[in-house]
Amino acid sequence: MSTIAASSLRARFRRLARRWTASEEGVAAVEFGLIVPIMAVMFIGAVELSQAITVDRRVTQVATATADLVARFTPPPNGANGISQTEITDIMKVGGYILSPYSANPLKIVLRGVSSSPTSATNTKQAWICTYTGAGNSLSCSCTNTTYSLPANMVTTLDSVVISEVTYNYKPLVFDYFMKSMGTGGGPAGTHLMKETAILKPRSQNINLLQTSNTPCPAPTY
């Protein structure tokens, strides 16, 4: 190849290189391809976070509502001195209504009746406990006489409180795919465990639980 031909070829390549580096065709498509995945993750993440916050707030509402409804209970005139398990079940079902339209199956509510001794505010006992699971609307209750610790200065002597402990295994819309091998907050794989506890004092008197025989649970011994 002659020197003139080689020089001409090099000049042509330089012109093509300048045209290629100066060309802006396809820039928008490249930028779009780079930005879309990031924007998609941000959008899905915003939706997931919004729903998670909504469910978490409703879990809080379930705890406060169930504790408040039990704390408001007043035995009817000439009725048994205690709240029946049928009434407890109806109150528990309120939790499912509050969570709607989200599934109530992962919902679990534990209600406790705790009272203090006549001589010591720090000597507190759990008189009864009821556990409700949203799956199947199942309720199990029992009378107990076990020690239960309360936060400091929560009660005085011969006092009582109603405690509602709510847990909910929240399953994300999309990100559960990345959580299939693990759970967060102590929940099973693919879920995030949400928890809330509400402690309220009865409006009028100590709330006792009626057994299936319609007799109140025995008073705790201190």
Which residue ranges make up each domain of the chain?
A: 32-200
**CA dist 151 → 56, 122, 124 (Å):** 23, 9, 11
* Residue 182 three-state SS: coil
For residues 164-181, give the mean pLDDT.
77
Helix (H) / strand (E) element for 2: namely none
What string of DSSP letters covers 64-98?
Answer: HHHHHHHHT--PPTTS-SSB-HHHHHHHHHHHHHH
Distance (Å, rounded) from C-alpha 81 to C-alpha 75? 6
Give all strands of the β-sheet with 124-133 in edge-to-edge order: 138-147, 124-133, 107-116, 160-170, 192-200
Distance (Å, rounded) from C-alpha 62 to C-alpha 71? 14
Looking at residue 19, its pLDDT comes to 64
The residues, ordered by sequence, that sit 6+ positions from 157 with a Cβ below 8 Å of its Cβ are 116, 117, 118, 119, 120, 121
Answer for the pair 207, 217: CB distance below 8 angstroms, yes or no: no
pTM: 0.79
Looking at residue 18, its pLDDT comes to 64
- Cα angle for residues 100, 83, 135 (degrees, 5° grid): 30
Percentage with pLDDT > 90 across the chain:
47
When the pLDDT of each residue in the chain is averaged and rounded to a whole number, the result is: 84
Looking at residue 139, its pLDDT comes to 93
Looking at residue 160, its pLDDT comes to 94
**CA dist 37 → 31, 34, 41, 178 (Å):** 11, 7, 6, 17
Q: Write out pLDDT tens, residues 92-130.
A: 999 889 998 988 889 999 999 999 999 999 999 999 999
The answer, yes or no, to whether residue 181 has pLDDT greater than 90, is no
Q: Write out pLDDT tens, residues 133-156.
A: 988 888 999 999 999 999 988 999
Least confident window among 42-46, 159-163, 175-179, 210-214: 175-179
Helix (H) / strand (E) element for 9: namely helix 3-22
